């Protein structure tokens, strides 16, 4: 403010012994200078940013102009108040108030900037392995807002000369008590953050947990994950358990297709090439079985009483597993009966050594 007074000294001398007029002149000059400077600078920057392919710099430029303009205006206001014949206590309060308004203006601008940057990180380009994703965007957006508001609050307290020591100590004690009282909730919260960030599964995926619980993911929250089983029963699993469990994502991988296995045994002496042909014909004729990759038949092992085959084929979605297995099993059984191919089953012969007298 002293530098501003030095630059405005010729004008202040012109209105010597008229402090109210001097203060008004400073206010008027401040508005003019702030308007001209902000217009010229941002006009040049706008020309430069218009030549780039990204819209990020244009959006940031729009956000930056108001706080810079108001910062210049508030500086002029503070200088004018110092010149006017106002009591020191009142002038200090007015200056503190102007500084507080400036901090709030910058706080709002930084919140908008952080939101734009997070959106760019979440949606822009290939962010498969990034921490900020569309699922985690609300979380990081809220965290950034809390941090910016906290810093702005600290600066405002410093402007008004309020000691923050007692406030920080009280907040630490309260935070410690809350962490002990809600440790399970916090465990689920942090696990939910890591699940959303790491994305081991997403909504719509079929997952199998350690306890062989299988279901379709319908909701991923910060506290729990919800699955709907094939019995149409909703199961809610705390995220702390999901984070510490071995999860098999049947919809994961480079392709959402799911491979099913149909195990079948035939009697010794059966023409194995004919069995291969029949199994391939059945798989290719089934509409639920995909043509790419095409089905395969494997002769697995010589069993105790059967030659064990396995039909491998792919379906579009894990949800179709039960329906496809049903159709394939029915078709195989009917075709084998028609071809007189025996499917061995456990038999027990009872020998009576001697008839009772």
Asked if the structure places residue 355 within a domain, the reply is no
Cα dist. 315→98, 172, 203, 288, 332 in Å?
67, 55, 19, 6, 18
Asked if the structure places residue 26 within a domain, the reply is yes
262 and 241 in one domain?
A: no
Query: How would you classify the pairing of strands 234-238 and 248-249?
Result: unpaired
Q: Is 204 left (phi over 0), alpha (psi -120 to 50) or beta?
A: left
Question: What pLDDT does 152 receive?
Answer: 92
Residue in 311, 204, 186 with CA at minimum distance from that of residue 256: 204
The DSSP secondary structure of 222-253, one letter per residue, reads: SSEEEEE-TTS-EEEEEHHHHHTS--EETT-S
More confident residue, 82 or 260: 260
184-223 per-position pLDDT tens digit: 777 777 787 777 777 788 888 889 987 678 899 998 877 8
Is residue 312 within 8 A of residue 261, CB to CB? The reply is yes
Is residue 106 very low, low, confident or very high in pLDDT (cuts 50, 70, 90)?
very high
Buried b (16+ CB within 10 A) or exposed e, 227-238: beeeeeeebebb
More confident residue, 293 or 86: 293
Q: How many C-beta neighbours within 10 Å does residue 252 have?
A: 16
Report the C-alpha gap between 89 and 86 in whole angstroms: 8
Asked if the structure places residue 37 within a domain, the reply is yes
Is residue 78 within 8 A of residue 70, CB to CB? The reply is no
Chain centroid to CA 12? 58
Cα dist. 301→270, 296, 309, 310 in Å?
14, 16, 7, 10
125 and 67 in one domain?
A: yes
219 and 104 in one domain?
A: no
Question: What pLDDT does 98 receive?
Answer: 86
Size of the chain, expressed as the number of residues it contains: 357
316-337 per-position pLDDT tens digit: 988 899 999 999 999 999 999 9
- pTM score, whole prediction: 0.55
Assigned token pair, 112:
């908008």
> Among residues 228, 249, 270, which one ends one of the domains?
249
Is residue 60 very low, low, confident or very high in pLDDT (cuts 50, 70, 90)?
confident
> Among residues 174, 207, 231, which one ends one of the domains?
174
- The residue with tokens 């709907």 is 228
271 and 229 in one domain?
A: no
Asked if the structure places residue 349 within a domain, the reply is no
241 and 125 in one domain?
A: no
- Which residues are CB-neighbours of 97 under 8 A, at least 6 positions away? none
148 and 225 in one domain?
A: no
Report the C-alpha gap between 103 and 110 in whole angstroms: 10
- Which residues are CB-neighbours of 20 under 8 A, at least 6 positions away? 84, 85
CATH code of the domain in which 213 resides:
2.30.30.60
Asked if the structure places residue 224 within a domain, the reply is yes
Question: What pLDDT does 59 receive?
Answer: 83
Report the C-alpha gap between 184 and 189 in whole angstroms: 9
Give the number of domains in the chain.
3
> Among residues 249, 282, 312, which one ends one of the domains?
249
Report the C-alpha gap between 107 and 155 in whole angstroms: 11
Owning domain of residue 243: 195-249
263 and 148 in one domain?
A: no
Is residue 295 within 8 A of residue 312, CB to CB? The reply is yes
Span 23-35, mean pLDDT?
A: 71
153 and 15 in one domain?
A: yes
Asked if the structure places residue 357 within a domain, the reply is no
Question: What pLDDT does 50 receive?
Answer: 77
Say if residue 6's pLDDT is above 70: no
Q: How many C-beta neighbours within 10 Å does residue 73 have?
A: 20
275 and 138 in one domain?
A: no
108-151 per-position pLDDT tens digit: 999 999 988 888 887 765 555 556 777 667 777 878 888 999 89
284 and 242 in one domain?
A: no
18 and 154 in one domain?
A: yes
Asked if the structure places residue 70 within a domain, the reply is yes
Is residue 41 very low, low, confident or very high in pLDDT (cuts 50, 70, 90)?
confident
- The residue with tokens 């392919």 is 53
269 and 317 in one domain?
A: yes
3-state SS of 92-145? Answer: HHHHHHHHHHHHHHHHHHHHHHHHHHHHHHHHCCCCCCCCCCCCCHHHHHHHHH
CATH code of the domain in which 262 resides:
3.30.70.100
Residue in 218, 215, 216, 221 with CA at minimum distance from that of residue 185: 221
Asked if the structure places residue 158 within a domain, the reply is yes
- The residue with tokens 């979605």 is 317
**What is the dihedral angle through the alpha carbons of 281, 287, 289, 293, rounded to the nearest 10 degrees?**
80
The DSSP secondary structure of 147-172, one letter per residue, reads: HHHHHHHHHHHHHTT---HHHHHHHH
Question: What pLDDT does 39 receive?
Answer: 81
Question: What pLDDT does 34 receive?
Answer: 74
More confident residue, 313 or 138: 313
């Amino acid at each position: 403010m002293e530098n501003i007074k030095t630059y405005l000294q010729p004008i202040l001398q012109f209105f010597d012994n008229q402090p109210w007029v001097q203060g008004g002149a400073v206010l008027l000059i401040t508005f003019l200078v702030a308007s001209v400077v902000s217009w010229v600078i941002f006009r040049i920057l706008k020309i430069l940013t218009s030549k780039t392919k990204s819209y990020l710099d244009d959006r940031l430029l729009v956000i930056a102009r108001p706080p810079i303009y108001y910062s210049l205006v508030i500086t002029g206001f503070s200088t004018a108040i110092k010149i006017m014949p106002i009591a020191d206590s009142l002038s200090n309060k007015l200056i503190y108030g102007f500084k507080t308004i400036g901090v709030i203006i910058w706080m709002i601008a930084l919140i908008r900037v952080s939101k734009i940057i997070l959106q760019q990180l979440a949606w822009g380009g290939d962010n498969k392995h990034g921490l900020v994703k569309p699922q985690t965007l609300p979380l990081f957006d809220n965290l950034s807002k809390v941090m910016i508001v906290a810093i702005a609050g600290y600066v405002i307290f410093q402007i008004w000369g309020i000691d923050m020591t007692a406030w920080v100590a009280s907040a630490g004690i309260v935070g410690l008590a809350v962490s002990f009282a809600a440790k399970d909730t916090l465990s689920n919260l942090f696990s939910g953050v890591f699940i959303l960030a790491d994305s081991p599964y997403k909504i719509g995926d079929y997952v199998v947990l350690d306890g062989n619980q299988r279901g379709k993911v319908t909701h991923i929250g910060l506290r729990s994950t919800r699955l709907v089983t094939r019995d149409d029963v909703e199961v809610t699993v705390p995220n702390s358990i999901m984070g510490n469990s071995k999860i098999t994502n049947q919809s994961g991988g480079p392709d959402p297709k799911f491979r099913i296995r149909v195990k079948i045994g035939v009697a010794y002496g059966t023409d194995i090439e004919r069995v291969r042909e029949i199994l391939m014909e059945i798989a290719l004729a089934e509409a639920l079985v995909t043509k790419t990759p095409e089905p395969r038949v494997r002769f697995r092992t010589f069993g105790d009483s059967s030659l064990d085959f396995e039909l491998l084929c792919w379906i579009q979605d894990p949800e179709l597993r039960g329906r496809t297995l049903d159709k394939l099993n029915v078709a195989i059984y009917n075709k084998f009966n028609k071809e007189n191919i025996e499917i061995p089953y456990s038999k027990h012969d009872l020998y009576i050594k001697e008839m009772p007298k």
